[in-house]
């Protein structure tokens, strides 16, 4: 979790920020969207050898891989939510003098919150996939490492137990995120 949580938070924050920028500004979207779509198509597992060469076996590399895996679903969902904010809400905000960052905080983000939550829920699993794969390649601890280690020793029971643990962690994180989102946006999230 010490590798997963920072990566999830960093990737999610970058994803929300990029989604807001590309959703609000068509010019920014014109420049950033093709680049992000290109990098989104690169699986985090394919980056593991590169990250190992660049950052070594440290936890920083694993945090970066988790952030990479989490960033793109949050970005796409945030952008979709921002682009679907009703024009009437934006006109009403203009009438009341709500502009700039206040408009982002008071209009765009609350309206797109269900989409952001959907992106976060997808990122819960994709981040765990990336972390487990990274731990399988280069780690001396972690659930992914334990799966490979158990496999090498033909300890099928421990291997299956670690796989089930991964599923439980993903399910628990998803349910926790859903409960938090229902408290934050009771009017939208189901």
Is the pLDDT score of 123 beyond 90?
A: yes
Domains contained in the chain, CATH given: 4-139 (1.10.3720.10)
pLDDT class of 6 with cuts at 50, 70, 90: very high
Could you tell me the pLDDT band of residue 100, with boundaries at 50, 70 and 90? confident
> Exposed (0-12), middle (13-18) or buried (19+): which is 105, by Cβ within 10 Å?
exposed
Write down the number of H helices and E strands in the chain. 9, 0
pTM value is 0.86
Which of 23-27, 90-94, 176-180, 182-186 bottoms out in mean pLDDT, i.e. has the lowest? Answer: 182-186
The DSSP secondary structure of 1-64, one letter per residue, reads -TTHHHHHHHHHHHHHHHHHHHHH-HHHHHHHHHHHHHHHTS-HHHHHHHHHHHHTTSHHHHHH
The pLDDT of residue 41 is 92
Model confidence pLDDT, tens digit, residues 144-171: 888 888 888 889 999 999 999 989 988 9
| pLDDT (0 to 100) of residue 76 | 96
- By CB atoms closer than 10 A (0-12, 13-18, 19+), residue 89 is middle
Cα 22 from Cα 27, distance rounded (Å): 8
Neighbours of 174 (CB within 10 A): 15
Instruction: Work out the mean pLDDT of the chain and round it to a whole number.
Output: 89
């Amino acid at each position: 979790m010490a590798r997963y949580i920072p990566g999830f938070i960093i990737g999610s924050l970058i994803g929300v920020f990029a989604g807001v920028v590309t959703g609000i500004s068509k010019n920014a979207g014109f420049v950033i969207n093709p680049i992000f779509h290109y990098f989104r198509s690169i699986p985090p597992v394919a980056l593991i050898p590169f990250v190992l060469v660049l950052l070594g076996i440290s936890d920083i590399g694993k945090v970066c891989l988790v952030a990479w895996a989490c960033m793109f679903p949050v970005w796409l969902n945030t952008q979709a939510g921002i682009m679907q904010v009703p024009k009437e809400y934006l006109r009403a905000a203009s009438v009341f003098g709500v502009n700039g960052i206040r408009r982002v905080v008071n209009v765009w983000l609350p309206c797109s919150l269900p989409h952001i939550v959907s992106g976060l829920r997808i990122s819960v699993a994709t981040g765990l996939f990336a972390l487990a794969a990274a731990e399988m390649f280069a780690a001396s601890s972690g659930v992914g490492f334990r799966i490979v280690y158990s496999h090498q020793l033909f300890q099928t029971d421990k291997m299956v137990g670690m796989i089930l643990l991964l599923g439980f962690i993903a399910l628990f994180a998803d349910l926790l995120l859903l409960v938090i989102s229902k408290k934050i946006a009771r009017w939208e999230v189901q």
